[in-house]
Amino acid sequence: MGAADAAGLLAGYLLDAALGDPRRFHPVAGFGTAAGALERRIHRPNRTAGTAYTAIAVGVPALAGLAAARVTRRHPVARFAVTAAATWTVLGARTLRRESRTMARHLTAGDLPAARGRLGHLCGRDPSALDEPELARATVESVAENTSDAVVAPLFWGALLGPAGLLGYRAANTLDAMVGHRSPRYARFGTPSARLDDVLNLAPSRLTGLLTVAVAPVAGGTPAETLRVWRRDRNDHPSPNAGQCESAMAGALGVRLGGRNVYFGRSEVRPFLGDGPRPKAVHLRRAARVSGAVGAAAALLAAAFAAARGSISRGTP
């Protein structure tokens, strides 16, 4: 089924590129609603409850993907359709690029209220006091991290595990966004979801960094300079994965990221990543180009790996 998975990954990627996320009845939104209802039922302020929650909320979609893969293992056309639909469901590449360009238009027009109102589509920072450079920085950092989370990582796990990898990864990543952050309610309950997401993104985030190095010329950067910044700064970030993506993006754009991030009710100070000026509107359009090029390269690599995986499986006695 490697050829069917490979074709399905490419078809799903192209569907996302052409159509983007469904505006209504998005399956991921439906999963979030169901996961929220489950969380309200079993929440306890401890990691045991959080582990059970994570196992159920991730295990059910992963098992559904595994069941779909098994049912279609002798039916290549059906397997292609299942993989394509799952890939389209979990990717967010077009939406990510659109949000970056929309923010660029607001900043270019000097419309800070509109830009502040739009930031919530990308990240959870408090935009009320952010000026143009800080809004641009928040956008670039979000585009960099989400290029891994919403594009490279799902393709990576889809290439390895087919539909089960696609759906299981997206479930884990969605849970991290819902309960993996630091707050009184989720300080312990959300830890298992956050740790699972960290583990699942270890390889994809580093692949994202390497691909960003390779495609840096689409943003006017150079692979050599991007590699220098990435190697120097990638481990300075408190996240084991976000720094891989953000430092490479900083190198490709020739900007400096990091600094004080204000969320609703708390603030964090992040180390600086990259050299050069703070980002501006023009850098958001370049970040969108980098994200698009990284996604296209990841889709081709994922399809090639899935096809090779299928060939190896057929040749195994």
Token pair, residue 201, equals: 């993104």
Tens of pLDDT, residue by residue over 81-106, are 999 999 999 999 999 999 999 999 99
For the cut 80, the answer to whether the pLDDT of residue 161 exceeds it is yes
pLDDT tens digits, one per residue of 225-235: 999 999 999 99
| Exposure class string for 164-183: b at 16+ Cβ within 10 A, else e | bbbbbbbbbbbbbebbbbee
Closest to 143 in 3D by CA, of 196, 172, 102, 179: 102
Residues of the chain above pLDDT 90, percent: 80
Contact between residue 258 and residue 273 where contact means Cβ atoms under 8 Å apart: yes
Q: What's the pLDDT at 180?
A: 83
CA–CA separation, 14 vs 191, rounded Å? Answer: 35
Identify which of 171, 194, 152 has the alpha carbon closest to the alpha carbon of residue 297. Answer: 152
User: H helices within 254-280, ranges in order?
Assistant: none
Give the least confident one: 139-148, 156-165, 294-303, 308-317.
308-317
| pLDDT at site 262 | 77
CA-to-CA distance for 189 and 210, rounded, in angstroms? 33
pLDDT tens across 4-42, in order?
999 999 999 999 999 988 766 678 888 989 999 999 999
Question: Are 95 and 24 a contacting pair, CB within 8 Å?
Answer: no
Q: What average pLDDT does the structure give for the chain? A: 92
Q: Hey, what are 117's tokens?
A: 């109102």
pLDDT tens digits, one per residue of 219-266:
999 999 999 999 999 999 988 899 999 999 999 999 999 988 877 667
CA-to-CA dists, residue 298 to 154, 159, 243, 294, angstroms: 10, 10, 19, 6
